[in-house]
């Protein structure tokens, strides 16, 4: 007596499927590259001061903090590393 899974046809197909090599990918292999970017943004900064002049001086000294990241105005790829 022969069961459905013991049939010679199904067994031959299973062997053929195991021997079959996967078809090569048609798209080239993708890799990750790291880059150095120069980015110019318009950011909103905040500082506590007694007058706009003092605030301007404090901000020019690098004091204060960024309130909002702002929009990217310009960017340029400086280098790409392998």
- Tell me: the pLDDT tens digits for 33-63? 999 999 998 999 999 999 999 999 999 999 9
Q: Is residue 18 part of a domain?
A: no
Query: Could you give the percent of the chain with pLDDT greater than 70?
Result: 70
Enter the pTM of the model.
0.45
How many domains, the chain?
A: 1
Q: Is residue 2 part of a domain?
A: no
Query: What is the span of the domain harbouring residue 76?
Result: 30-82
Catalogue the E-assigned strands of the chain. 34-46, 65-81
Q: Is residue 48 part of a domain?
A: yes
Taking a C-beta distance cutoff of 8 angstroms, is the pair 17, 64 a contact? no
């Amino acid at each position: 007596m022969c069961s459905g899974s013991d049939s010679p046809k199904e067994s031959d197909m299973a062997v053929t499927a195991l021997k079959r090599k996967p078809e090569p990918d048609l798209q080239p292999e993708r890799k990750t590259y790291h880059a150095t970017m120069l980015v110019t943004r318009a950011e909103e900064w905040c500082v506590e001061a007694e007058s706009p002049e003092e605030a301007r001086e404090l901000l020019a000294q690098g004091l204060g903090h960024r309130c909002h990241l702002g929009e990217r105005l310009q960017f340029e790829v400086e280098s790409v590393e392998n």
